[in-house]
Amino acid sequence: MPIEIPKDKWPGSIKIVTIGATSAEGGTRTKSISVGGQASMPYLHYEAPMPNKPVIAIEIKSRKPDDWSPLLVEAWGETMAEPAQWAKKADEAGADIIVVALTLADSPEDAVRVVKSVLSATGLPLIVWGPGQVEKDNELLVPVSEATNGEKIVLGICEDKNYRTIVATAMANGHLVQARTPMDVNLSKQLNILISDMGMPKERILMDPTTGALGYGIEYGYSVMERLRLAALQGDAMTQLPMIVTPGYETWKTKESKIGEGVPEGWGDWKARAINWETLTAIALVESGADIVVLRHPESVKRVKGAIEELVTV
């Protein structure tokens, strides 16, 4: 019985966003990374080809964090003390992009120095996050943005209460922005509208709908992403942006990943479980439409990469 495969023809598609600039493009990266461009729900190649596959970013900090899980410390070892070394190792571990997370302890000079050192240690495109405090973010990100003019870095994280300064400096220096909203379709759209109302081209905005880790609200993030993607395909211009999510950050603060002792026996082997936690969270998000997943453990990076390969091979 010949079955006719139902295909959705969507009126909309996702904007292609390119991160990082090569020397030809006015930067110093060895290559730039493009995400987006889909015209179907994730990996339904029979409906529309997928011009860009999802990529993996590895998160490193500007200073060695003292609250990361011992499993992560074990994986990255000595390099954690030196962002440039750490970035290099992340590059080797398979990162497509490096996320440099600045901290409250950084001065503007520190921030600029760290970002520049990472830029010279690796040819990968960069995402730079402020420490997550309105004033401090602005204080650090503006000089970083100016010092890296033309590199097409993604600056983050814009939120609805604090987006103007970051967007303004990103616009002035040829960078991109990451727009984060707390797991709500409408809030995502609203922040995208506010940012593009400032004149930022949509090709330079990544939306971060926020996710919870597995067991900690992943279902909300998951559905919000599916809904955003559906809205985009249906033609809603304000949702036609690639999505970035941070399963690494989310999972490594859960006790399922962070802790090895004093947990229920039913949780099984710590290391395997912890990596499963990060990997499975990331996979669920990749299935729901993530374009960039930010991870922390090299083993998860390997597994998620493998899965993406399988998903994009037709």
Partner 1 sequence: MQHTITFTFDDKPITVTVPTNTMLSDAAQLAGLDIGQPCGGQGRCGRCAVQVTDGNVRRRSTLRLSPGDVGQGFALACQSVVEGDVSIYVPPQEKIERRLTTDRVVAEVTVPEGYEYPSDQTVRRIHLELTPPSMDDQTDDWSRLQTALRLQANINKVNVSLGLLQTIGNVLRVGEWNVTAVLEYPLEDLEQPVRLISLQPHHVDEYSPLWGCAIDIGTTTVSVWLVDLVSGQVRAQVAEYNGQIVRGEDVISRIMYANKSGGGQELRQRVLDTINELLETACKRVKAKPEDVVKATIAGNSTMIHLLLGIPASNIRLSPFITAVNHPPLMRAGDVGINIHSQASVDCLPGVASYVGADITAGVLSSGLDVAEDVILFLDVGTNGETVLGNRDWLVTCACSAGPAFEGAGVVNGMRATTGAIEEVWVNSDTFEPTYRVIGGGKPKGICGSGLISLLSEAFITGIIDKAGNVNLMKSSSRLRDGAHGGEYVVAWGTESESGEDIVLSRVDVDNLLRAKAAIYAGFTVLADTVGIPLESVSKVLIGGSFGKYINVEKAVQIGLLPDMPWEQFDFLGNTSVRGAYYALLDWRKRDQITEIAKRMTYIELSADNSFYEAFTSALFLPHTDMSKFPSVASALER
Partner 2 sequence: MALAGIQIYKLLPQTNCKECGFPTCLAFAMKLAAKQVELSACPYVSDASKKQLAESAAPPIRLITLKAGSEVKAGNEVVMFRHEKSFYNKTGLFIRVKASDPDLAKKVTAADAYKVNYVGMDFSIDGFAIEADGDLTAAVKTIRTVSKRPLILMTKDSALLDSSLSLLAGESALIYAADASNYEPLADLAKKYKAALVVKSDSLDGLADLTKNIQAKGVEDMVLDLGGRNMGEWLARSTQVRKLAIKSNLRALGYPVIAFPCDAKDEGVAAAQAIAKYAGFVVLSEFKPELLYPLLVLRENIYTDPQKPIQVQPGIYEINSPNPESPVLVTTNFSITYFSVANEVEGSGLPAWLVVTDAEGMSVLTAWAAGKFDAERIAKAIKTFDVASKVSKKRIVLPGHVAVLSGELEEELPDWEIRVGPREAVDLPAFMKQALN
Give dist(CA 63, CA 162) in Å, integer: 24
Instruction: Give the nearer residue to partner 1 in terms of CB position, either 16 or 237.
Output: 237
Pairwise CA distance, residues 118 & 100, whole Å: 8
- Of 5, 6, 9, 161, which lies in the binding site for partner 1, with binding defined by CB under 8 A? 161
Q: Which does 49 bind (CB under 5 to 8 A by kind): partner 1, partner 2, none?
A: none
Q: Strands across the sheet with 55-61, in order?
A: 205-208, 176-180, 154-158, 126-129, 97-101, 55-61, 292-295, 244-245
Taking the complex as a whole, the smallest distance from the CB of residue 266 to partner 1 amounts, in Å, to 32
As a whole number of angstroms, the distance between CA 35 and CA 127 comes to: 14
313 near partner 2, rule: CB under 8 A: yes
- Closest CB to partner 1 among residues 18, 223: 223
Name which of partner 1, partner 2, none residue 236 binds, using a CB cut-off of 5 to 8 Å depending on partner kind: partner 1
Question: Quick check: 187 binds partner 1 (CB under 8 A)?
Answer: yes
Provide, rounded to whole angstroms, the least separation between the CB of residue 160 and partner 2: 9
For residue 90, CA distances in Å to 36, 79, 103, 279 come to 23, 10, 19, 17
Tokens 């899965």 locate to: 307
- Quick one: tokens of 152? 């097409």
**Under the criterion CB under 8 A, does residue 279 sit at the interface with partner 2?**
yes
Of the residues 132, 236, 260, 273, which one makes contact with partner 1 according to CB under 8 A: 236
Assigned token pair, 99? 């996320």
Binding to partner 2 (CB under 8 A): which residues in 281-310?
A: 283-284, 287-288, 303-304, 306-307, 310
Triad 114, 33, 244: Cα angle to 5°: 80
**Residue 110, interface with partner 2 (CB under 8 A)?**
no
* Whole-angstrom distance, CA of residue 225 vs CA of residue 212: 12
Using CA atoms, how far apart are residues 117 and 209, in angstroms rounded to an integer? 30
By CB under 8 A, residue 230 contacts partner 2? yes
Block residue for tokens 């941070």: 246
Q: Does residue 219 touch partner 1 according to CB under 8 A?
A: no
> Rule CB under 8 A: which residues touch partner 2?
1-3, 5-6, 41, 43-46, 104, 132-134, 136, 159, 161-162, 182-184, 214-220, 222-223, 226-227, 230, 256, 264-270, 272-273, 276-277, 279-280, 283-284, 287-288, 303-304, 306-307, 310-314
